[in-house]
């Protein structure tokens, strides 16, 4: 499957909202919920505008993972960029119908190519101990495991910990 990452823009709001609603239950099995308010159309609209403002300031970059027809398969983000230390934080999610097909792995590879152009030296990522697929995606893209937190938290009846990773841009090291 050919995919691309497309920088978030104001015309994506409606399709992104639909994608988030369709995949809400699936996402909340793997990551903490975004809360009930996030799914209210008026709140989602404001949140979308806020993301676009952050992107315009260069403190975060938000991309939609799309197929060759322009359908949203997922999203991948580089957020909370510390420009003085050239460090950003990764986040991504792939819709339920598109998992296990290499979409996240390919999208992350594309994002890391973009990161080089953005002059980012390191990208941090974290996932949960139960999200083995996400750990594999990170490791296959050159992320190194740095630590597993000591603190446990409960999500969906499971006791979990956060697993932290880092990727270093060898061109800027």
Which domain CATH number covers 30?
A: 3.40.630.30
Report d(CA 10, CA 36) in Å as an integer: 23
DSSP string covering 65-129, please?
A: EEETT--EEEEEEEEEEETTTTEEEEEEEE-GGGTTTTHHHHHHHHHHHHHHHTT--EEEEEEET
Give buried/exposed letters for 20-35 (b at 16+ CB in 10 A, else e). beebeeebeebeeeee
With contact defined as beta carbons under 8 Å apart, do 161 and 107 qualify? no
Nearest to 172 by CA among 131, 108, 117, 132: 117
Q: Is residue 126 part of a domain?
A: yes
Q: Is residue 173 part of a domain?
A: no
Model-level pTM? 0.88
Which backbone phi and psi does 169 adopt, to 5 degrees? -75, 105
Mean pLDDT to the nearest integer, 125-150:
93
Q: Is residue 62 part of a domain?
A: yes
Residue 114 has pLDDT above 70, yes or no: yes
Q: Tokens at residue 111, please?
A: 């994002």
pLDDT tier at 156, thresholds 50, 70, 90: confident
pLDDT of res. 173: 64
Residue 17 has pLDDT above 80, yes or no: yes
- 33-67 pLDDT per residue, tens: 788 888 899 999 999 999 999 999 999 999 999 99
Mean pLDDT to the nearest integer, 126-131:
88
Instruction: State the DSSP code for 11.
Output: G
Number of domains, the chain? 1
Better pLDDT: 118 or 71 = 71
Give buried/exposed letters for 38-69 (b at 16+ CB in 10 A, else e). eeeeeebeebbeebbebbeeeebbbbbbbeee
The domain of 158 spans: 3-168
Report d(CA 126, CA 145) in Å as an integer: 9
CA 156 remoteness from chain centre: 21
pLDDT of res. 33: 74
């Amino acid at each position: 499957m050919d995919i691309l990452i497309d920088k978030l823009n104001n015309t994506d709001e409606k399709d992104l909202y639909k994608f988030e609603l369709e995949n809400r239950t699936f996402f909340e099995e793997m990551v903490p919920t975004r809360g009930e308010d996030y799914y209210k159309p008026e709140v989602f609209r404001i949140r979308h505008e806020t993301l676009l403002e952050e992107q315009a300031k260069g403190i975060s970059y938000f991309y939609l993972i799309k197929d060759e027809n322009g359908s949203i398969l997922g999203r991948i983000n580089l957020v909370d960029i510390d420009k003085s230390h050239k460090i950003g934080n990764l986040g991504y999610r792939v819709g339920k119908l598109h998992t296990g097909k290499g979409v996240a792995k390919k999208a992350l590879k594309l994002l890391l190519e973009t990161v080089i152009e953005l002059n980012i030296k390191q990208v941090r990522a974290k996932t949960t101990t139960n999200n083995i697929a996400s750990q594999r995606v990170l490791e296959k893209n050159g992320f190194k495991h740095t630590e597993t937190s000591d603190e446990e938290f409960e999500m969906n009846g499971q006791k979990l910990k956060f697993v932290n990773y880092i990727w270093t841009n060898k061109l800027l090291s």
